[in-house]
Structure 1
């Protein structure tokens, strides 16, 4: 069987899309707000400047109607060490002393709008660490005089620089991080692709598990590639590409979902023949749903509670990735615990981790003794993947200083994902352990079939999922 693929044209078209799409889907740091007696201040933005460097901020504030109380309208710059005190202060007046720079906002009539511009230096030249700066607009007079009806809606646009670059100090690690994960993903995908071709050539058959892990590796690599391009664009213009960054987050979410489903499927006994895993009687509803994952492709071909469970996992990860962009659309904050969708994601992962651990030990009990050691190790490794990030994000958000949180979580998340893909690649390609000798994924088997006798039926006929490619089978 010969494969002939021309790479030059697809790669050229792909890079052409990356160049032209950003101009269509680009975004700006902007928003609308209205001050009032109850909300006398509004946080415009925050930005991290590198140690020993000088940054710069420029804000434009517009309104359709004039802001009559111009006398007490200020943009205040608060440094990160003063920010907790600023937040805890009960009144706007008490917060004023924590501003290191206070710029008065005076609007001027321009065409049909009223406009004001504010610029501030972000001085961290003597700093030994990256420093966060917060930009807050306040009108403390509203605490004493109720003028809510006469306060117009304000529109703002903020631009920031870190030593000439729009890339903040806490994002400077992202290019190297995504380059490493891109290389890992591409290498794994290439090796798995080569393994698929070799198995098709030697056995005219290849197990679907290899394609499953291949899809996860490609999703992870593509996520990193898209984010690298976004970072490059963002460093130059402070805008980047909302489309590419969002697509990167969704690719990462899909990769997470695929890893979750593969871990749960193997935990449920996928690829182990029915004569190896004893049928479980009197199973609970949850156990039946997870048990259905022992034949994942069979579940897709005949809709059941297991099918909806699997689809729900993928859809929920994608939905949470998009929801998280409401809170931060500069860079992917998919694994961020600072917002509600991030917290829900960590709760979901922890819950699925408990399900995974339970499924592993349920399958271990019903397996021969020779597989007990494998499932114990598999449960430990899988549990580390499920629980490490929720635990780490909780610790980081509690004990780590603000400017180091995103770096710590991002690096650990990327390391976790790359490690899981490497381990799953080993799982579907190695053939030396007792698990591989009994599993359908082993090339030593005469027939590679993704089938198991269903725990909910007494039929002894196996269900199978296969696609014909000439004389080659993907099973």
Structure 2
């Protein structure tokens, strides 16, 4: 519990400055524009004609906002000549007024537009004699279904709000279907096994993450900022849910609740140390990845170095899971338990490989679709995996026949060639 609280607190402290919103405020300066040969401000994915860019500043300036299309952005980054870099912009908006707006006519398909600030002194060979600091507030709006520019969502986030709404409704329906069964299991007086406790915690955290993200996105649709704290709490809940699931699945893979191996993961010092190391590594990589959230070097956040390392961590966990299952099966003589582990392995691989495989599948998609493909795909697969596991653990299935759970609250089935000799065939 202390580890979970520490990880959550660390995430809250580090993540907040990097929350992405499309009503943004900040500062640009002559010096930073000169040092960067054009100061990167933000990016936004416009998806249709008559999109709108609006800004306000605390003063006028001789500078301009330069809009560079995603197709030109790699060449912009590779170009060393400052004048040629800024000349790659499709259009510019001069900061000659303290308030102005510009219609962005999108064409063909949705595109990311990268916004860069530059001044006449930006491309000089000498340092600017004065460092003028400009405070700004920007608003990026896509047209809605009626053609009016009041949609704060870029096309890379478009559709996520209804997705999370459906996901939360599905969770509520699941609670309606299974809450009574869980209550009956608990009310029988038998101790509810730690497997069910851990799975319930993981599902509750996953649902909480979805609810918080839904509230954040709903608010974002209204004000373009959302509720950054809710977004952070959603990611923290999702992270804790994943750590809990990794702990549960790895524990089951070494035979926990099966036969003689009934040691609780909470009492297994070696396994507890391993899971703690994995959780801390995951937290560090996620926090590191957040520094790329508004980076102009990547369209999709997981294309960064820490994102790549997160994928490698998942593959490492798959390797550990495979090793555990092979060792467990090598010492297992029960046919029924081998049958259980075969189905269990499929569910585990589905859980662990969802993220890295969707990362690879998202590569051929347009840059503005990659975030949605990975987010929606991983969230759905994980929700389905937990749903299947909950059915496995809460019903009189094969798992109940071959595990120590069968001695808690639900009786063994005797419809698979049962009879007095059934229990002896498990050993």
Question: Within 1, Cα distance between the matches of 2:52 and 2:397?
Answer: 59
Match of residue 88 from structure 1: 78
| TM-score normalised per structure 1 | 0.71
Asked if 2 retains the 8 angstrom alpha-carbon contact of 1:192 and 1:214, the reply is no
Match of residue 147 from structure 1: 127
Among 116, 134, 140, the alignment partner of 1:136 is 116
1:343 aligns with 2:308: yes
Question: Within 1, Cα distance between the matches of 2:165 and 2:156?
Answer: 17
Question: Within 2, Cα distance between the matches of 1:213 and 1:404?
Answer: 32
Question: Within 1, Cα distance between the matches of 2:57 and 2:315?
Answer: 43
Question: Within 1, Cα distance between the matches of 2:35 and 2:96?
Answer: 22
Question: Within 2, Cα distance between the matches of 1:140 and 1:447?
Answer: 80
1:442 aligns with 2:424: no
Q: Which moved more, 1:200-209 or 1:250-259?
A: 200-209
| Secondary structure at 2:350 match in 1 | helix
Q: Write the mapping of 1:95-244 to structure 2, written as runs, cut at 5 A.
A: 95-106=85-96, 116-124=98-106, 127-139=107-119, 141-148=121-128, 150-163=130-143, 164-244=150-230
Among 373, 388, 399, the alignment partner of 1:408 is 373
Among 50, 53, 56, the alignment partner of 2:47 is 50
Q: Deviations over 1:64-123 (max 9, x none)?
A: xx97xx3xx32111233333333333322222333221123348xxxxxxxx54532222
Match of residue 32 from structure 2: 35
In the superposition, relative to structure 1, how do residues 85 and 155 fare at CA in structure 2: closer, same or farther (>3 Å)? same
TM-superposed deviation, 1:429: 1.7
Asked if 2 retains the 8 angstrom alpha-carbon contact of 1:185 and 1:220, the reply is no
| Secondary structure at 2:32 match in 1 | coil
Structure 2 gap segments, 5+ residues each: 1-18, 144-149, 413-427
Asked if 2 retains the 8 angstrom alpha-carbon contact of 1:60 and 1:156, the reply is yes
Question: Within 1, Cα distance between the matches of 2:174 and 2:57?
Answer: 49
Aligned-residue Cα RMSD (Å) equals: 3.3
Structure 1 gap segments, 5+ residues each: 1-24, 108-115, 278-292, 449-475
| Secondary structure at 1:428 match in 2 | helix
TM-superposed deviation, 1:418: 0.9
Match of residue 17 from structure 1: none
Q: Deviations over 1:293-329 (max 9, x none)?
A: 9521323xxxx23223333444544555455444438
Asked if 1 retains the 8 angstrom alpha-carbon contact of 2:209 and 2:233, the reply is yes
Q: Deviations over 1:198-217 (max 9, x none)?
A: 12333533222122211111
Match of residue 8 from structure 2: none
Q: Deviations over 1:416-455 (max 9, x none)?
A: 211221122123123332x43120122577999xxxxxxx
Q: Write the mapping of 1:4-83 to structure 2, written as runs, cut at 5 A.
A: 29-33=24-28, 34-35=31-32, 37-51=34-48, 53-61=49-57, 70=62, 73-83=63-73
> What is the total number of aligned residue pairs between the two structures?
381
Question: Within 2, Cα distance between the matches of 1:340 and 1:294?
Answer: 38
| Secondary structure at 1:159 match in 2 | strand
Asked if 2 retains the 8 angstrom alpha-carbon contact of 1:26 and 1:241, the reply is no
| TM-score normalised per structure 2 | 0.78
Question: Within 2, Cα distance between the matches of 1:203 and 1:161?
Answer: 57
In the superposition, relative to structure 1, how do residues 175 and 365 fare at CA in structure 2: closer, same or farther (>3 Å)? same
Match of residue 239 from structure 2: 253
